[in-house]
Amino acid sequence: MEILENSVYFIFYGSIFWTLCEKIQRDIPGFCTKLGCPLCSAIGSILSKITSRYVLIDECVIISRERKIETIYRLI
């Protein structure tokens, strides 16, 4: 996790949700940045609760060969 001025950058390695996130992103493009997969949504909810700010998912990238999910959240 890296915290920038108004953004939070998360990298998830080997998550149990990795295959689900990959399937959602492949079958429903753009879904992850609108509502988020279960993992990204849960982290967004936690960030919102901790910071008392609204949270948007700016970007969600899945790198299959590394089983890695990179997500950038924007704090409003």
Q: Structure pTM?
A: 0.79
Q: Which two tokens stand for residue 54?
A: 């609204």
pLDDT digits (tens, 9 = 90+) for 32-61: 767 777 788 889 999 999 999 999 988 888
Give the distance, in angstroms, between the CA of residue 23 and the centroid of all CA atoms in the same chain.
14
User: Which pLDDT belongs to residue 63?
Assistant: 83
Structural domain including 65 reads: 2-75
Give helix 18-27 / helix 38-51 axis angle, nearest 10°.
100
Residue 12 has pLDDT above 80, yes or no: yes
Sheet holding 2-3, edge to edge: 2-3, 7-13, 68-75, 55-63
User: Which pLDDT belongs to residue 45?
Assistant: 93
> How many domains, the chain?
1
User: Which pLDDT belongs to residue 28?
Assistant: 82
Paired strand residues for 73: 8, 57
